[in-house]
Amino acid sequence: MTLEFVLPLHFKTTGFALTDTVEFELFGEEGVDTSMIKFLEIRLGTDNGLPIQFEVQVYFTDENYVIVESLFDETAVLLEAAPVDGNGIITASRRVENTVRIDREKISNMEGVKFAIFEAKILTSNQGQDFVKIFKHYEGLGFEPAYALDFDLSIHGGFKLNNQESGN
């Protein structure tokens, strides 16, 4: 799919959605002893200077595309739309921090996963109720660049180092 826009752009949306399926094996063909993994934690911080909100969900499926697990318990707001004034022009960027904790049960459910289905829903500011404007150059807003995305990603895990029962 290819999209091309000419700026300035003036629009609103509540239900624009994108879906993609990719091959995905969390532990590879040789497998991993998941009993050694206590948890995985993914932290994602975003600064969004666009008047567009992104809600996402990732579903993990088996070889028959049957969903066996999801990344989030409910659809997550990955990027919250930057606020706009009465004319639809952004006034500041917006910071969102997301932490996803994947516990041992969820990790075990993902052992046979073959595919990941990514779903993203795009909304403009105010849950898609506001018309927004994206210009080639925003000026005088007090932050640079005027419309941009900035991400911070970290992954943290808890692991057992010895899975041997005592007394053996």
The residue count for the chain: 168
List CB contacts of 50: < 8 A, sequence separation 6 or more.
79, 81, 82, 90, 134, 147, 148, 149
Instruction: Give the pLDDT score at 149.
Output: 64
Task: Give me the pLDDT at residue 23, please.
Answer: 92
> What predicted TM-score, i.e. pTM, was given to this entire model?
0.71
Write down the pLDDT at residue 56. Answer: 87
CA distances from 148 to 56, 96, 104, 130 (A): 19, 14, 36, 19
Torsion angle of C-alpha atoms 28, 29, 33, 36, degrees rounded to 10: -10
Q: What is the pLDDT along the chain (168 residues), one digit of tens a residue?
A: 676 766 677 888 887 888 999 998 876 666 667 777 888 888 888 888 888 888 888 899 999 999 999 988 888 888 888 888 888 878 888 888 888 888 888 888 888 889 999 998 988 878 888 888 877 655 444 444 444 667 677 777 777 766 565 444
